[in-house]
Each structure stands twice: as C-alpha cells, then as structure tokens.
Amino acid sequence: MRIGETIRYPAKIVKDSHVDGLRNWYSLTAAPDATNWKVIKLDSGINTSAVSGISRIPFLALSSSPHRFGSSETPWEDVHRPDQGYSRYFGDAKPGLKSATEYLGNQRMLQAFIQQGGDKGARVDAPPILIFEAVEAAGRIKGQRLFHGVGVITNAELVVQREDRAQRRTFPNYVFEIAILDLSNENETLDWEWINARRDGNKSAEDALKLAPVSWQRWVDRGSIGSLRRNVITRGVVSEVMQRPSKGSDEEKILREIYSFYEFKRHKFEALADFVVQTIFESQGIEYRPGWITQGSGDGGFDFVASIDIDSEGALRSSRQVLLGQAKCEKLDKPTNGLHIARLAARLRRGWIGAYVTTSWFSLPVQREILVDRYPVVLVDGLRLAQVVRRHVNDNGITVKALLEQLDDSYEERIKYGDPENALA
C-alpha cells in the first residue's frame, strides 16, 4: 500500500482485489496461502493480529476517525502530518473507573515504546506502527482508510482529557507522538510481505527485518530517527551552501562590500533591499511600484512598502497587491532569525505578499516552517542579493559603492508613515 492511498475497508470480508473502484483492504493484507491466520481488521483505534506460536506483536495499526471528533466516543483529535513525518495519536482510554494503563491498546503502545527505545535486540523485535485515518469517498462516510505511513513512537505522555465538549468530567489517557519514516527507497510503498513475515512463527524477527523498508532497517541499526523521518517539505528547501557566495567569487566581494557599507547604519539597508526586490520582480515581467520606507522605530514588523501588479495590462485592478518588505543587514556567517520572518508574515493581510532580504541565509528549519505554513513571503538570501547587485552594476557600468551611495542619498526623503493599503492608490 502506498502513502496517501485510500483503501476500501468493506463491512463484509471479501477477497476481490478492488471494491467500489478502490483496492480492497482484505486483499492487500491477505495471509499467505496454506495458513489459517485470522484476517486483519481496523475496527478499533489500536489494532493488531497476533499469530499463535510467536510472542512478538507483529505490528500495531492505528485508525483515527476524524468524523467522530468532539463526540462522547472520541472527544479528542488526532493529528497526522505525513508530509512532515509526524503523528500525534491519543490512546484508547475512556471515561470510567479504569486507569489509562489498564486499556489493552495503551498497554501495547507503551510496550512498543519501551521496545523501540531499547537496545538493538529490542528494536529488532519491536512492532512497526502503521497509521491509518478514516476518510470519506464517493459519498460514503465509513468504509475507507487513508494510509499515512509506518513509524516509530518517539514520546508517550499521560494527559488528562475532557469527556466531551459539553461535559466537565475528565479522565486520564496517553498521547503518543510518532515519527513517520521515509519510504522513498520503496517508492512510498509499504510491502505487506514484511508484515506477514513478522506474523510468521517460522521466521525470526531478524529474518523478517530483511523485508523491512530501508529506513526501518537503519533505525533498528542506529537507534535514532535523525534524517530517517519522512519530510516532503525537504524537497522544497535549499542548503546553506546554495545561499552563500563561494569564497573568492565576485558575489562574495560584493556581499562583503554591502555589509561593510551598512554595518554602522543598518537601517539604511532597507533602501537596497527595496531596490533588489523591485529588480527581481521586474526581471520576471511583474510590475513593481515602490512605496515608502518605514520609520526606524515602530515599523510594525516591516521596513518598506510597495505594490505589485501581476496583470498590469488588465482593465480591472484586482491583480494589484500590497507588498511588505523586511530588510536585515546581518553578519554573513550566521543564519537569519526566523522570528523576524514570522513577525513579517503576521502583518500580511489576505492577498498581500511579503519579501524578506538578508545578507545572510535561511536555515532549513526556517524554510520548512515557511513552506508548511504557506507564508507568501519571497526570500532573498545573501547570494541572490549579491547576484542582483552584480548584474545591475555590470549592466550600467557603475561601481557597487556608487549604487549604494545613490540609494543612501534618497533614503531620508523616502521615509513615511501610512496605511500599507495606500500603496494601491
């Protein structure tokens, strides 16, 4: 089964490969021929299917039901973010007289957590956590499961939950954090033969491990998640080396000259940042209209205001949007502060665009946060800044110093305070 695949989970056990146009759960998870193993079901929140003759738990399959969230049966909400390799799953405790550890599902999850946190021998035997979520399809609320991936429990915490939104009665339960592993080596697909091998009493855990995904095998060997966590967002980020000029290059010399010029008057770097953003947009055929530079104190989280028009030839003016810019003349050997980017993003209204220009670079966590939260912010690192300046001075036959002095001379007259919406006037 493939991550992101919706699988049909029919009420009756059938052997057909497809049901209602979706692949059939019972066919995908079928036991090998000549075995009398029971079929695997996902009727509970925490599921498994033990086989006589083996002591190990072959797997734990979690099944969330978001359509029940807020009800007396499921007053809590599980969180699944497979693209970021993360799940947060609440255990199977219910309001009543029993403690959270007396519920079978919680017991099994806690046992798995201990095994997965043990030595290599314990990890070999530990059950993989398979994560599913009930979803609608073709008007059916029930009868489908979305596969999110396979993971490892990284944390187990005893919490107190409220029975439902309308009740005040509370009860203890466990919440489990799970790292979803990268299956890129398997084309994002889980081979059920691995699970069947773990169910087979004639095969050792070591034998079954040979059929496991590469990331699971590496985790068993290393004992740490590290880069094994699934992260689709990683494909949209760039490394530090791609954001900084190489040593001895023209861009490095230009960037150092820029930093030296503004080192003791960093607020004036805003004029260059505005100019660079304008150059970037106009080079892509997007109309950019400079607005003003904000006052140094009380800038409200942005340093300059402008507007862009992605359809300048259109008769209607709906294509114009406000742009808020942030400028940071920072040391060249340290990444920029993500808090400044978050502060800029918080100032953006619907449809507005942000631009963040720095002499340094953006760390991977900062880039991932922007991508995950879908901040509409254009990021300009030190290398790109230097490249834009280099092209401009070469095309116009001037020096970097001449450009910076020209922008410096007009800085004071561009300072203004006003509602950013005025940039559209």
**Residue 45 pLDDT > 60, yes or no?**
yes
The mean pLDDT value of the chain amounts to 91
pLDDT reported for residue 10? 96
Question: Do 79 and 62 form a contact (C-beta atoms < 8 A)?
Answer: no
User: 190 and 293: one domain?
Assistant: no
**Residue 67 pLDDT > 80, yes or no?**
no
Model confidence band, residue 388 (pLDDT cutoffs 50, 70, 90):
very high
pLDDT reported for residue 71? 44
| Nearby residues of 367 by Cβ (< 8 Å), 6 or more positions away | 233, 236, 237, 238, 379
**pLDDT digits 0-9 by tens, 134-174:** 988 888 989 999 999 999 999 999 988 877 555 567 889 99
User: 314 and 385: one domain?
Assistant: yes
Q: Say which CATH number the domain at 83 has.
A: 2.30.280.20
Say how many domains are in the chain.
2
User: 202 and 250: one domain?
Assistant: no
Of the residues 234, 249, 280, which one is the last residue of a structural domain?
A: 234
Residues 200 and 34: their CA atoms lie apart, in Å, by 12
Residues 159 and 106: their CA atoms lie apart, in Å, by 13
pLDDT reported for residue 263? 95
User: 294 and 221: one domain?
Assistant: no
Sign of CA dihedral 389, 235, 228, 372: positive
pLDDT reported for residue 369? 83
User: 200 and 295: one domain?
Assistant: no
Average pLDDT, stretch 401-424?
94
DSSP per residue over 195-243, as a string? HHHHH-TTS-HHHHHTTS-HHHHHHHHH---GGGB--GGGGG---GGGT
User: 180 and 288: one domain?
Assistant: no
> Which amino acid makes up residue 359?
T
pLDDT reported for residue 282? 94
Q: Say which CATH number the domain at 293 has.
A: 3.40.1350.10
DSSP per residue over 321-351, as a string? EEEEEEEE---TTSPPPHHHHHHHHHH--TT
User: 362 and 225: one domain?
Assistant: no
User: 266 and 202: one domain?
Assistant: no
User: 229 and 286: one domain?
Assistant: no
Q: pTM of the full predicted structure? A: 0.63
DSSP per residue over 8-72, as a string? E--SS----SEETTEEBHHHHTPPPTT--PPPP---SSEE----TT--S---EEEEE-GGGBTSS
User: 177 and 261: one domain?
Assistant: no
Average pLDDT, stretch 187-192?
96
Residue 1 inside a domain? The answer is no
Phi-psi region of 285 (alpha: psi -120 to 50; beta: other; left: phi over 0): left
**pLDDT digits 0-9 by tens, 235-245:** 788 889 899 99
pLDDT reported for residue 356? 97
Give 140-143's long-range contacts (Cβ < 8 A, gap of 24+). Answer: 140/20, 141/67, 143/8, 143/9, 143/10, 143/11
Sign of CA dihedral 100, 102, 103, 106: positive
pLDDT reported for residue 205? 94
Q: Which of 43-57, 62-76, 268-282 is predicted most confidently?
A: 268-282
Percentage of the chain exceeding pLDDT 70: 95
Domain, as residue range, for 26? 6-234
Average pLDDT, stretch 2-18?
95
Residues 12 and 24: their CA atoms lie apart, in Å, by 11
Of the residues 234, 253, 271, which one is the last residue of a structural domain?
A: 234
**pLDDT digits 0-9 by tens, 326-336:** 999 999 999 99
